[in-house]
């Protein structure tokens, strides 16, 4: 984890001037990592340089977990450090690669809320969107992709393609077993059928300005498939139902 980068995003540090560390910085930027490690070990920690020492410990550490620990120490002990936003960003990359998308989201949001002027802001938006997409939450994914505004970056082009992809609609067929103006009533019916093992979910629609919560069972590519399932469903449950066709975002999130 000694060189952290994503999507061609070059990390350039405008660090505070600690002469003892300047040599480490030059060696690191020159790719002489072993020499940089040796020089770093010689530097005595002081109140002025502890955060920067931790920064380079994290950058030069080959063990990902130890690198993570160094960056976390910056965040925990030196929240006002010039390197705190980068430390948070590095932590989020580790969490994302570990598949800890929810933790990555929490970490990245600390950057977007506490460091809105950070050079890692748009990168954080990108990885927030990617994390939400990995969790199949396309609504939030699209929201964060839309916050990437620098059109000269690779991230912007990827975000634009992702927004287009996530916004595509397709037709599906479902078994509708209820429609309510009251959300709690819909959720009660939904819960009862989920407990029975059905793939039940909620969708919303509006008619004459009134919002309805529709309780749906299944998701079928054709009306024939839905009819086949509905016969078995009717025999077992003996309740009224409708086969409905709806337009759905390709990666639309179901309300559960």
Please, which pLDDT band fits residue 222 given cuts at 50, 70 and 90?
very high
The pLDDT score that the predictor gives to residue 18 is: 53
State the average pLDDT over residues 65-71.
Answer: 96
| Residue 90 CA neighbour count, 13 Å, CB half | 30
List the single range of 15-19, 72-76, 194-198 with lowest mean pLDDT. 15-19
The domain limits of the chain are: 19-165, 169-249
For residue 179, pLDDT over 50 is answered with yes
pTM for this one? 0.65
For residue 252, pLDDT over 50 is answered with no
The pLDDT score that the predictor gives to residue 117 is: 95
pLDDT for 77-127, tens place per residue?
A: 999 999 999 999 999 999 999 999 999 999 999 999 999 999 999 999 999
Neighbours of 12 (CB within 10 A): 7
**Which CATH code is given to the segment(s) 169-249?**
3.30.70.1070
State the average pLDDT over residues 4-21.
Answer: 47
Average pLDDT, the chain: 89
Strand partners, 171: 247
Q: Which fold has domain 19-165?
A: 1.25.40
Residue among 115, 21, 4 nearest 67 (CA): 4
């Amino acid at each position: 984890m000694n060189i952290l980068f994503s999507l061609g995003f070059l990390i350039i540090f405008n660090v505070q001037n600690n002469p003892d560390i300047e040599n480490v910085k030059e060696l690191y930027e020159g790719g002489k990592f072993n020499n940089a490690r040796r020089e770093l070990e010689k530097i005595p920690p002081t109140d002025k340089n502890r955060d920067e020492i931790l920064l380079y410990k994290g950058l030069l550490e080959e063990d990902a977990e130890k690198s993570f620990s160094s960056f976390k120490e910056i965040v925990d002990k030196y929240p006002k450090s010039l390197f705190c936003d980068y430390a948070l960003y590095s932590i989020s990359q580790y969490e994302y690669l570990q598949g800890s998308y929810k933790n990555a989201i929490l970490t990245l949001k600390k950057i977007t809320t506490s460091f809105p002027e950070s050079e890692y802001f748009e990168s954080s938006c990108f990885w927030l969107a990617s994390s939400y997409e990995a969790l199949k939450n396309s609504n939030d994914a699209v929201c964060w992709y839309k916050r990437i505004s620098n059109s000269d970056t690779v991230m912007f082009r990827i975000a634009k393609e992702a927004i287009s992809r996530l916004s595509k609609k397709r037709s599906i067929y479902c078994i509708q077993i209820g429609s309510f103006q009251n959300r709690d009533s819909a959720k009660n019916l939904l819960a009862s059928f989920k407990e029975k093992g059905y793939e039940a979910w909620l969708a919303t629609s509006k008619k004459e300005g009134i919002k309805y919560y529709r309780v749906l069972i299944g998701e079928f590519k054709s009306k024939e498939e839905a009819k086949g399932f509905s016969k078995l469903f009717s025999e077992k449950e003996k309740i009224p139902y409708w086969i409905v066709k709806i337009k759905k975002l390709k990666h639309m999130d179901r309300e559960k």
